[in-house]
Amino acid sequence: MAAHGLLYVGTQNQDGFQIWRSTTGNPASNADWVRVVADGAGDRYNVNAQTMKVFNGLLYVSTVSLPFLSGYADMKGFEIIRIWDVPTATEVGLL
């Protein structure tokens, strides 16, 4: 998902999804990727980042808990989480 001139990607992780951002989108450049959300945004049962959308200038991600991935016995449902990531002016090309 592109937002504010940056590329954001979400992961699926048994300990909770992660959101990463990059200024170049180059997967070969480890130094460029910065993790902005870890551990399911505070809920390790949020194992999968789903859809991302920009609304009113802010980035939102929908998440889901899947019992076979998280170990959680029941289907928890989903959440919509606002990503409060404030990139520097250099990262968004203002400097």
Give tens-digit pLDDT for 32-74: 788 888 888 888 888 889 899 988 888 899 988 776 655 666 6
25 pLDDT tier (thresholds 50, 70, 90): low
Q: Between the CA of residue 69 and those of 5, 6, 46, 79, what are the distances in Å?
A: 32, 29, 10, 16
Q: What is the pLDDT of residues 5-16, one digit of tens each?
A: 788 889 888 888
The answer to whether 22 and 36 are in contact (CB under 8 A) is: no
Q: Which residue has the higher pLDDT, 78 or 80?
A: 80
Q: Residue 67: helix, strand or coil by DSSP?
A: helix
For residue 82, the one-letter residue type is: R
pLDDT in the model for residue 57: 81
pTM of the entire predicted model:
0.75
Cross-strand partners of 7: 2, 22
